Amino acid sequence: MSTDPQILVQAICTLACYSYLIKENFAYRIAEYTLVALYTSYQITRLFHSFIKPYWQNYAIGEKQYYFILMGALGLLLYTRYAPPQYRWLARYPIALSVGWGLGGAIARSPRPVFTQLMDVMRPLNTANNVLFFVFFMAVMSYFFFTTGKESKFIQGSGRLGRYIMMIGFGTAFGNTVQGRISLFLNRLSFLLTDWLGISI
């Protein structure tokens, strides 16, 4: 059994969490509140030291890009969210700027992966798999027709096929995920057994 205090704390945290499976309890609640607090403070530290500080030093001061000061001041307006209601609209300025910057990138860039996928649907229909893929894809697409072909028997039937295909897809995804979720537990288990209890596996 390990005598390292860090490992002991890790083991206690792990067991406190699992106790929830039996019943919500004191140890679990302490762990939950601690985690929420630590995570928030970790984020603050991380942002400050690896971002705000170096960017301020390198760009605002080092390169004399003085608009960083303006942007920083605009960023401070975010805190008006917590101000009395008549000032809260000020927080919209930084939100508007950063949302806009993100959207422009998304508008320009996000269609590209979709086009790649569409091009792949257009494979020559010369193998069984290509044909099946094409049919399955079209069936699922037609399930999502909301305004087109409401009366068409063909679209309705194809939509129903699409729903079955989706169920097969979901079954596959579910079955495939089981190994991932078990791996998560095995990771904790090997920590408890090897690192804490010292049993070699």
Partner 1 sequence: MKREVPLALTFLMTLLRFLFEMINPLLNYEISEGVMLFSRISFSVTFMYCMGLFMGLINLTRVHGNTIKRRREHWIYSVWLLIVLYGYAILGLFFGGLESEAFNWIYDAVIVPLDSTMFSMLAFFIASAAYRAFKIRNVESLLMMVVAFIVMLGNVSLGNAIWGSESWLGGFSGIKDWLLAIPNAASQRAIGIGVFLGAYAAILRVALGLEKRYLGGTDW
Partner 2 sequence: MEWLKRLDSIDPRWVYVIMALSLVFPVLKPIGLAISINKETTIPVYNWIESLQPGDIVVGDVSFSGGSEGELGPQLQAWFRHCMQRGVKVIMVAQWNTGERLGYTLLEETAEQLQEEGIPCEYGVDWVYAGYKPGGTTLWRQMQLDFWEACAETDMLGNSFSDLPLMQRFKKWDKATASDLIIFAAGDPGVGTYTTYFPDYNIYVGNVAVQVPGAMNTLRAGQIKGLLAGLPGAAEYELLLDKAGKAVKLMDAQSMGHAWIMLLVILGNIGFYLRAKERD
Partner 3 sequence: MLNQLVLAADVKWGIFVPDDSTIAGLFLAIGMALLVYVMIQRARAGLPIPEIRRIPGLEAFEEAVGRATEMGRPVHITSYYQDVGDYDTWAFWAYLAHVAKLCASYDTRIINTNSEWLSMTVNEEIIRQAYLEAGRPDAFNPDDVRFMSDWQFGYTMGVAGMIAREKPAANFLVGYFYAEALILAEAGALVGAIQVAATSATAQLPFFVASCDYTMIGEEFYAGAAALSKEPVIYGSVVSQDITRVVFVILCIIGALLNTAGSSLLVDMLKF
Smallest distance from the beta carbon of 200 to partner 2, in angstroms?
10
Which is closer to partner 3, CB of 46 or CB of 123?
Answer: 123
Q: How far is residue 61's CA from residue 59's CA, in Å, rounded to a whole number? A: 6
Which is closer to partner 3, CB of 5 or CB of 175?
Answer: 175
Burial 50-76 (b: 16+ CB within 10 A, else e): eeeeeeeeeebeeeeeeebeeeeeeee
Q: Give the binding site for partner 2 (CB under 8 A).
A: 21-22, 43, 46-47, 50-51, 54-55, 58, 101-102, 105, 109-110, 112-113, 116-117, 119-120, 133, 169, 172-173, 176-190, 193, 199, 201
Binding mask 173-192 for partner 1 (x = CB under 8 A): xxxxxxx-xx-xx-xx--x-
Other C-beta atoms closer than 10 Å to the C-beta of 158 total 19
Q: Give the binding site for partner 3 (CB under 8 A).
A: 20, 24, 28, 32, 35-36, 39-40, 81, 95, 99, 107-109, 111-112, 115-116, 118-119, 121-126, 134, 137-138, 141-142, 144-148, 150, 166-167, 169-171, 173-174, 177
Smallest distance from the beta carbon of 65 to partner 3, in angstroms?
24
Residues 68-87 that bind partner 1 (CB under 8 A): 68, 71-72, 74-76, 78-79, 81-82
Which is closer to partner 2, CB of 8 or CB of 189?
Answer: 189
Largest CA distance in the chain: 72
Show the tokens assigned to 8: 């002991």
Rg of the Cα trace of the chain? Answer: 27
Q: How far is residue 6's CA from residue 130's CA, in Å, rounded to a whole number? A: 54
Show the tokens assigned to 122: 């257009």
Which is closer to partner 3, CB of 2 or CB of 10?
Answer: 10
Judge contact between 18 and 191, C-beta under 8 A.
Answer: no
